[in-house]
Amino acid sequence: MFELAIIVSLQSEIPAYEQIKAQIKGQILSGELPADEPLTSMRQLARDLRVSVITTTRAYGDLEAEGLIYTVQGRGCFVKGNTELVREQYLRSIDDSLKTAVEKGKATGLTLPELQNKLEEKFNEQCD
Amino acid sequence: MSNAIEINNLCKEYPGFALKNVSFSVPRGLCCGFVGPNGAGKTTTLKAMLGMVHKSRGEIRLLGKPDGDITAKEDIGVMFDQPYFQEDWTPFDIEKGIKPFYRGWDSAQYRRYLTQFGLDHNKKFSAFSRGMKMKLSFAVHLSHGAKLLLLDEPTSGLDPLARDEVLDIMREHLVKEDRTILFSTHITSDLERIADMIVYISDGAVSFSGDKDVLLSKHCVVRGGKLPEVKRKHAIGLREYKDGYECLMEVDNIGGLPPDAMTERATINDVVVYMERRSRYA
């Protein structure tokens, strides 16, 4: 069983179930929680975090609705091995890297064709 | 999800006090806080559920069985605020006395709980502290496999550590499916981190029953300098002083407050205090 590292603050304006959901989501998206890994049962998690059962049920329910986890009747919840999701994550990080490249390019006075050349060079390097 | 507790239009009349059409239900597997001021009818409701007072009217079903069906009692654990074992019995004597009443009694389990809770097997009941007596009651009821726990003020009169331990015992119990707890308490902070539901009873009638988060997200505490006349009707349990005011308000009604008004998340305690203030001084 994978150890979930989750912290819930009742002082926060954010509802407890949102906090739990966001943290598990983060761990799935970052790859810390691998696909098909069983999650702590909702009732156990409620006990561990000292929150109500409804709170964890709601968090898991939302995660399932968002396609991040799946339930096997009688066995509990598991992390979904969702390629589409991973893809989306990659695309987002490509966007970020490109943004940085453009920013740095502009700062050093590179033109668009010059940047494109550099991208082509890198692309071809990886193809060899 | 079926209901562990189902009460419909429960009525009971006493001279000077009455339960008025008390209705609420608690789905199996949840923990429900039962709150309300002293004399609101919490203990009377619990007693009616157990057949300890005769109801005048209404319908009660526990674990799907109608009241009066004693087979349901095997699966119910009850604790009133005073633990009620013989004063000179030791935990061993208590087991001997209680065991014959329950088919599902688990001696090994009982012994494990005594050890886990640090209860001396040979000490007389009267020599235990209040916290220890509470834990002993839990040991007894958890050892006969109670699925439904009805607890009347299980945390009252306990020091903060003992209270925390009792709440932990309850949490541990709830880890397994199909276990339900109804507990009354004045210490509403106990409910913040354990209760799924709240039943709020006031003057013999239920004024709220349902999801705790819904109750809390519907209300907020408002503080400010001067409450505009038009907003007065929305203020619940308004308290005014020379330079300001504070009250509870439904979140839907906070529009139109002056900019100096501060709103913050309501706790169960806030909801109970302000609502009670409204009903008492309105």
Q: Is the pLDDT score of A86 beyond 80?
A: no
State the smallest CA–CA distance between residue B31 and chain A in angstroms.
8
Which pLDDT score is estimated for B63? 94
Radius of gyration of chain B (CA): 21
Q: Look up residue B157 and give its DSSP letter.
A: T
The parts of chain B modelled with pLDDT lower than 50 are none
Instruction: Give chain A's contact residues with B (Cβ, < 8 Å).
Output: 10, 13, 15, 17, 41, 43-44, 46-47, 50-55
Query: Which residues of chain A does B29 touch, with a Cβ-Cβ cutoff of 8 Å?
Result: 53
Which pLDDT score is estimated for A94? 87
Which pLDDT score is estimated for A88? 78
Structure tokens at B98: 């209680």
- Give CA separation, A77 vs A20, A45, A60, B30, B131, in Å: 15, 12, 8, 19, 37
A53–B212: do the CB atoms touch at under 8 Å?
no
Which pLDDT score is estimated for A84? 67
Which pLDDT score is estimated for A3? 63
Which pLDDT score is estimated for A74? 83
Average pLDDT value over all residues in chain A:
86
Residues with Cβ within 8 Å of B28's Cβ and at least 6 positions away in sequence, in order, are B1, B2, B3, B4, B178, B180
Structure tokens at B247: 């009250």
Collect contacts of B127-130 with beta carbons under 8 A, ≥24 apart: B129/B162, B130/B157, B130/B158, B130/B162
Domain boundaries, chain B: 3-203, 217-281
| pTM (two decimals) | 0.81
Per residue in A11-66, pLDDT (tens digit) is 787 888 999 999 998 888 777 888 888 899 999 999 999 999 999 999 999 999 88
State the smallest CA–CA distance between residue A67 and chain B in angstroms.
24
Q: Is the pLDDT score of A122 beyond 70?
A: yes
How many angstroms separate the first and last alpha carbons of chain A? 41
A50–B193: do the CB atoms touch at under 8 Å?
yes
A52–B175: do the CB atoms touch at under 8 Å?
no
Which pLDDT score is estimated for A103? 92
Per residue in B225-273, pLDDT (tens digit) is 999 999 999 999 999 998 999 999 999 999 889 888 999 989 999 999 9
Per-residue pLDDT, averaged over A83-87, amounts to 64
Q: How many CB atoms lie within 10 A of CB B273?
A: 18
Which pLDDT score is estimated for A82? 66
Nearest to A53 among B29, B192, B217 (CB): B29
Residue type, A126: Q
CATH number assigned to the domain covering B3-203: 3.40.50.300
Which of the two residues, A80 and B245, has the higher pLDDT score?
B245
Q: Is the pLDDT score of A2 beyond 80?
A: no
Task: Please give, one letter per residue, the 3-state secondary structure of A29-86.
Answer: HCCCCCCCCECCCHHHHHHHHCCCHHHHHHHHHHHHHCCCEEEECCCEEEECCCHHHH
